[in-house]
Structure 1
Amino acid sequence: MTGWVDSLSADDLSNWETCKRSGLWGTPSNAGGARVGDDLFLWKPLPDSGWLVHCRLTSVPRRIRTGEPVPWDDNRTYKYVMGIEVVSEPPNHIPMRGAVGSELAGLAHHVQLSQFARMSEQGVRAVSALFPQQSRVERALEEFLAAAGIDLPDEDHRDYAKRLIAVRRGQGPFRQGLLQAFDRTCCISGSQVEATLEAAHIRPFRETGSHAPGNGLLLRADLHTLFDLRLVTVMPFGTIRVAPDLQGSEYEDFDERQIRRPSDQAHVPHRDALAEHNSLCGWLT
């Protein structure tokens, strides 16, 4: 299990609200070695130092291009950016002296501003324990893996679970954009249980590398799976179609309905991408 510590300036905590809204974290450090699913703990320095929030990375760090717009004011100091998702944010920070916090995290030196320091595995576990329990979704997946007797070399079940959830839900900015565009509502079912909503690519990301707004649908986790399995599809003008294999199930009720339309025109699903998905559904007539 891999974790990192970065700090927020104590006199400008509004930066965190900007990062949270955008699903992005910026740092001057190159954050080498960080990957999707890693833990990120944010530290508040003096005068009343302590832990602020537990996040998870939803994309690998990348260097900000010259002139690239970023959600915060300073695009010169913060040279690297990565997607983040909040795991736990207590209403008040967890007070702790710097020396104690550094030792707990397994750092060789005190927590410093903008250092993006790598934690020890023991440190990740110790600092995680300070924050409220993991989400119900994460806990359920961990229990499923344990019950299935899945043996995962080099990673414990919790680490695997958190990586799977981070990847499955989608890249931070991509998912955040879809959540906003679809009013935090599954565009097929109307579900508003945010923990179950995922950013579904119409054209698979592994084939296109595209996080374009029009290449996404906000779907409840089960419908995302059915969409990927081509048992549910959406026609170019928004009509939902359900495979004959699902007739007689609760999914049958969605057949011939219209998807929820996004409030942002940029997120209207691309018709050619939907048509391509339709063409892969051999049952569609």
Structure 2
Amino acid sequence: MPRAWSCIAVGDDRQYGGNSGYDDELASRYSFDSNVANHKQVSKGDLIILRDGDRALGMATVEEVTSSPGTKLIRRCPVCRVTGLKERVKKHPKWRCNNGHEFEPPSESEEPVDKYVARFGSSFVRLGQAVSVTQLKSIALRPGDQTSIEELDLPGLERLMFPTSQEALNMVAVAGFLRSPASDEADEEHETDLVPSVADEREQVLRAIKVRRGQSSFRRGLIKRYGSRCLVTGCELEALLEAAHIAPYRNASHNDLSNGLLLRADIHTLFDLFLVWIDPITLIVTFDESVCHAGYAAYQGKQLQVGIKRPSLACLKVRAELLSMDLA
């Protein structure tokens, strides 16, 4: 189940307090060790928001996490041995520990640690000046002033990313969709009526199949945009036409008409279940093999029947990525 983390990354070879440094490369990897809280929690598929002391620098999806044994040069207070140190520029002695002892220099020793590297592949997205550390702290699940790796609330992160970066928002959308609801792991004989969180998109999609007539204004807008016909089958019986969201619905902002398709009810159900998908570039419609055998072969390989106003390319790409992740 993907999680989101705020990680201090103040630059290449970052160092602070008792740490002698980490070998980071902002756009491709994040390094940490077993002295850091949450070091065992960061996993493949998680989101990492890299930050300095003031703002978020960028976001990435973890492609892999590797670990190896090693040693690290650790600085400690020579009086009380704590690693919580601050190097001062204008005062002497230059060093002060969290317990108030002042000294120069700190004691140093090589200590055994497990070293971790989270690699991002090509997923890194820069965030500019848009998101402050204060905003990230406001959505921390367990706030801590000195936490180098701090877990964030995924729906809260989505709200921060919405006005910031479409690429970053797409990454949060994928992570949110892949969060498995608790009922996925429950015994079928003991299932409960789960009320999902905002991030539990898989559960929301299944519930949406049963609740078709909500958001009537969205449906009316799509009829005006595309005409009273199913964009896949050409069916013109308006009573059977439903408004389908391309990128999964979370809030009213997702009711933009470019994020919608007008589909016959059965096609809408197949679309929600990822048994039919649309190529973002060519708009060619493809049905799952099992669906073709059930009577839908006539629509296989046809192009979506839109006019001048195409659906959003970004939304179609989000859905294609969700599909590839869901089938992986």
Q: Answer yes or no: same fold by TM over 0.5.
A: no
TM-score by length of 1: 0.38
**Higher normalized contact order (CA 8 Å, seq sep 6+, divided by chain length):** 1
Task: Please state which structure has a larger fraction of its residues in strand.
Answer: 2
Task: Please state which structure has a larger fraction of its residues in helix.
Answer: 1
TM-score by length of 2: 0.33
